Amino acid sequence: MTAYFPPPDNGLNVIHVDNEIIVVDKPAGLLSVPGRGEGMDDCLASRVQARYPDAIIAHRLDMSTSGLLVLARGAEMHRQLSRFFRERQIDKRYVAVVYGLMADDGGEVELPLICDWPNRPRQKVDFEIGKPSLTRFRVVSRDPEANTTRVELEPVTGRSHQLRVHMASLGHPILGDDLYGGEATALADRLLLHAMDLGLFHPLTAAAIQFHSDAPF
């Protein structure tokens, strides 16, 4: 197993907090929840709970991914947020830098995914037993000199590693991806994937709320 070296705890980047929810900006390299094994306890959930003991994480980002995460305050709010995610009532948009110049300005990737069990945590495309997975993409800009494309990604479904596998399946892996990047792995010192936009209905007031975090790359 790869050694875990989480970023130093220099304080939370809290985007929003009220009596029902907390929205934070997770740094790359930090687990969302505790990992298995010794020395894997430091994570976003534990750091938030140190300040807000009633916080319960409602979804996850890959350790290598940075960006917005929402946590519930208390069990009832957690049930409501979990239902929102289950019913796809929460909008999430990511930004990534991928290898190569994407030909299409936008489109969809619909490829079923399943855990590649002998090589976990890797996921793989499997048309027989894979779970339906849909990603929408929109090109933001292309850099011919660097041979890269900045792209906005919307995961309609929420499978593990979905955005990473779907981009790699197009022949445009995300830079810095140590699982699916191939030669693109060495082109960045971190995974260039960031959860930049989060939209949801407030679980108490039902008001539509939006949060944004600029990508650090």
Catalytic, 62? Answer: yes
Measuring CA to CA, which residue among 209, 213, 215 is closest to residue 81? 209
Asked if 114 and 61 count as a contact pair (C-beta separation under 8 A), the reply is: no
Given the residues 9, 18, 25, 62, the one annotated as active site: 62
- What lies within 8 Å, CB to CB, of 94 at 6+ separation is 65, 67, 152, 153, 154, 155, 163, 193, 194, 195, 196
Distance in angstroms between the alpha carbons of the first and the last residue of the chain? 28
Asked if the peptide bond before residue 203 counts as cis, ω within 30 degrees of 0, the response is no
Phi, psi values for residue 77, rounded to 5°: -65, -35
Q: Tokens 């090589």 — which residue? A: 119
**Within a 13 Å sphere around the CA of 58, how many CA atoms are in the beta-carbon half?**
30
Q: Tokens 């946590």 — which residue? A: 71
- What lies within 8 Å, CB to CB, of 127 at 6+ separation is 112
Cβ count within 10 A of residue 63 = 19
Active site residues: 62
